[in-house]
Structure 1
C-alpha cells in the first residue's frame, strides 16, 4: 500500500464523487441464482503486487468458471472516480484510501452493499472491528476491506546498542529520552543522525498516524471537530514541539531536505540516518529488498498512557461496486471472495505483505511465522488501535489540521489553546462544505 499517494488524488476523488448523483438501489438477484458473465476490476497495484492480485484472480475464476475477470492495474483513485463520473469505469474499484468512503457512500459513487450482505447472510463480525468502521458511513456499507496496514515503529538495533538502550520505547517520555541519546550532531551543530524526526510532514508522521499515541479523537458523534475539546491533542502537540525545539526547527528542516525518498533505497531509516521511525508492515518488504543487512526491530507505537500500549494506527485498501457496474452480481461475487474467503485473504496477505482483515487469518501459521510481521498482526488486533473516521468531506478535515500542525511545529503559533480552537473552526468549516 502507498499511503503517500493519498494526497495526490484527494482533490480529484472529491470532485468526481461530489458530481456523482446517488443512484437507486440495484435490484439484486434471488438467493442461489447462478452468476455468470464478465466483470472488470481496476486496482492501483503494480509490479510484484499486481502479480499477486493476478494469482488470486486465477484462483477465483477456477472456482467460478462462468465468471470472467478483466483486470486493469495501475489505476489510482483519480482515474477510477473520473471514469465513474463520466458514466463508465470498472465494475469493481480497489482503492488505497479509506478516506474516500464517506464521500463515496453519501454520493452513491459506490453502491450500498448491505443488500448483498443481507441476502448472502455474511457475518461481518468475522471482520476486524476497525476495518468494519472504515468501510461504512451513515448506515451505508459501500465498501469491503481488502487487506490492511498497521502502524508501529521500526528501530535500529545497532544504533540502540551503541547508545546503551536495551529495547524500544513504550511511552512518549521514553521516546524523547531515547531520541536524544541516539542523536549525533556534526561539529557545526548540524544534525548527522536523528533519534526520531518529529516533524509532522516527514514520511509517515501525519497527524492520523500520531493520534493513537495519545488516543486522540477527530470527530464528535454528530460529525463535528473534536480537536479543540479533546485534551489529548494538546498532549500530543506539546510533546512534539518540545522535541522539535530540542533539535531546532531550522536544523530539522535542513536535515529532512537532505534525506532520500520514503519509498526508495535511500529511505532515511534504511540508510541509518534516523534511528526510530513510524511505519507500517509494508516496510518489511522494502527492508528485505533494499536493506538486507540492516539490524532492526519493530514495536507498537509509544503512548502517553502505558495502559494503552500495544496499539497503533490502522488503515487499509477497500473494494466497492461502481454505480455504473454492468454486471453488479458478478462484481459482488468477486468482492465477496476477496474479502470473506479466509484462504484467499491469507494468500493475498502473504504475497503482498499486508495485514489480513478477518479474525481467522490473523492466526494463519504462514503469516505468524515471521516474528516482525506478527508484531503488526498484534497491533492490528489490539483494542487500543484506531483509525480516522469516515466523513462526507473525505480527508479534508485531516488536511486542514495538517496545515495547523505545520504552523505549530515551525513556531508560528504562540498560544496552543487558541490555535486548537481556531483549528476546530476551520475543520468544522470544511466539514460543512463536504456535507
Structure 2
C-alpha cells in the first residue's frame, strides 16, 4: 500500500516531551569515528507495519547480519516522522542510528537542520558513486542545497490504470497520450445515470479523490516551483495556468464539479474492496505501482492495463513521464556508530540483490539503475511500466523545502478553491499563493 497512509503509534514518553522539529535546543552530536568491524548494535527505525512488509524488512536485516556478523540490528517498526523528529531532537541513548521516512517532503528539513548526517563523505570513503547508482530524480529528492542527507530506498511512480473492457466498449483503441486525447476519452467513457449521477466516470479529476493531490497530475507539465533564489514562482509559470485550465475542462467534459463531487461521495475507501476503480466506477485512474498487486489480490472482474499519464499537447515528446516519490533512508546525527550505520544504509539502498528482493517482496519500484535492469525483477509488464516512468528523464518529484511539505498543502488548498469555482481571479490567487509560500519559508528559516 502507499506507505504515507500507514498509521503509526507514537511512544508515550516522546509524545509527552513535546519535542518537535523547530523551536528546540540543539541535540546531542554523534560520531563517525567508530570502527564498523567491531561488535555493535544499531537501532533501526522504520514505518512498515503490514505483516508482509515487516517480514520483508526483517528478511533484509537477516541478510545484512549474515554479511556483517559483528553488527546486530534492533529494528523498531511502525514509526512516524513525527516520532523520529522528536527522538532526534531529544538525542540520547534511545534515539535511532538509522532512520527511514516514507515521505520525501521532509528531506529539506532533515538536511538543512543537520538532523540527518551528510552521506557524501561516507560514499566517498567507501567508493559508492551516487550518480552511477541512482536515477537523478531520486537523488534530487534525497538532497537539499547540495547536502545529500538521505538515499532512496525503493520508489513510487504514478501512472494511469485503465479499464480495458470499458475502452473496448467505448471504441477507444489505446490509452490517451495527450491532454486533448485525455479529455475526449474521459467524456466518451463517462456513462450517466439520470440527471445528476453516473454509472461510470471516465476520469475523476477532483483533487480530493484518493491519490489525486494536485502535485501528482501537475508533474505531467514539468513545473518549476521555485526560482534560483528559492522564491515561489507558480504565478509566473504559464504551465500553472494551462494545468488549471485543463483540469477544469476535464471537469466540465464530464458533467461539472457538483455532479462529480456527488458521485465521488459514493466511492468506497481507497484501500478497500469498494475502491472506485476496482468497482468499475472509474474507467481511468491515477495511482501508484502498488495498486496493481491490490487489483490482482482482489481478482478484479475486468481486464485492466497501465500506461503513463497523458502530457500537454505542446509537450507530446515527454510522454512516458510521471510523478515520482519514495522511501528515503538516512543516518541520525546523534548516532555514535555512524560508520556501522552507513554499512546498513549502503546495503539497503545500493546492494543490487537486496534492492531487487525487497522490491519484489513489497511491490515497489527499484531505486538503482542496476536493480531496474535485473532479470530477477517481477516480470509483469504492467508493473514494469512504472520502471519506465521512473527512468524517464522528464519525470518529476517535488523539490525539497526547508519547511517540509507546507507549500504542497498550500497548493492543495488553493486547488480545491479553483476546482470548486471559488477562485475568480486565477492570476491574483496564484500571486497570493506565492506570497504565502514565501512567507512560510521565511518563518521556517527563522
TM range (shorter): over 0.9
Q: Which 5+ residue runs of structure 2 have no aligned equivalent?
A: 10-14
Residue pairs, 1:59-138, within 5 angstroms = 59-87=63-91, 88-125=94-131, 126-138=133-145
| 2:279 corresponds to 1:271 | yes
**What corresponds to 2:430 in structure 1?**
420
Residue among 292, 301, 306 paired with 1:284? 292
Shift of 1:396: 0.5
Q: Distance in 1 between matches of 2:8 and 2:195?
A: 37
Shift of 1:332: 1.3
Q: Which 5+ residue runs of structure 1 have no aligned equivalent?
A: none
Residue pairs, 1:196-345, within 5 angstroms = 196-246=203-253, 247-304=255-312, 305-345=315-355
**What corresponds to 1:43 in structure 2?**
46
**What corresponds to 1:5 in structure 2?**
5
Using the size of structure 2 for normalisation, the TM-score is: 0.92
- Structure 1 residues 142 and 24: CA distance shift in structure 2, 3 A: farther
Q: Deviations along 1:81-100, whole A, 9 cap, x unmatched?
A: 22222324321111101010
| 2:168 corresponds to 1:161 | yes
Q: Distance in 1 between matches of 2:8 and 2:173?
A: 40
Shift of 1:48: 0.9
Q: Distance in 2 between matches of 1:179 and 1:224?
A: 36
Q: Distance in 2 between matches of 1:166 and 1:413?
A: 37
Shift of 1:270: 1.0
CA contact (8 A) 1:147 1:316 kept: yes
Q: Distance in 2 between matches of 1:101 and 1:22?
A: 19
Q: Deviations along 1:345-367, whole A, 9 cap, x unmatched?
A: 11111111111111111111132
- Structure 1 residues 357 and 21: CA distance shift in structure 2, 3 A: farther
Deviates more, 1:324-333 or 1:258-267: 324-333
Shift of 1:243: 1.9
Shift of 1:15: 7.4
Shift of 1:38: 0.5
**What corresponds to 2:382 in structure 1?**
372
CA contact (8 A) 1:84 1:324 kept: yes
CA contact (8 A) 1:367 1:373 kept: no
CA RMSD of aligned residues (A): 2.1
Deviates more, 1:266-275 or 1:204-213: 204-213
CA contact (8 A) 2:27 2:90 kept: no
CA contact (8 A) 1:22 1:109 kept: no
- Structure 1 residues 184 and 400: CA distance shift in structure 2, 3 A: same
Q: Distance in 2 between matches of 1:211 and 1:20?
A: 35
Give the aligned length: 431
- Structure 1 residues 186 and 366: CA distance shift in structure 2, 3 A: same
Q: Deviations along 1:328-375, whole A, 9 cap, x unmatched?
A: 222111101101111111111111111111111111113262101111
Q: Distance in 2 between matches of 1:22 and 1:171?
A: 51
Q: Distance in 2 between matches of 1:365 and 1:399?
A: 40
Q: Deviations along 1:122-167, whole A, 9 cap, x unmatched?
A: 1001111111101111221111110001111000001111111111
Deviates more, 1:128-137 or 1:419-428: 419-428
Partner SS state of residue 18, structure 1:
coil
**What corresponds to 2:12 in structure 1?**
none
Partner SS state of residue 98, structure 1:
coil
Deviates more, 1:292-301 or 1:233-242: 292-301
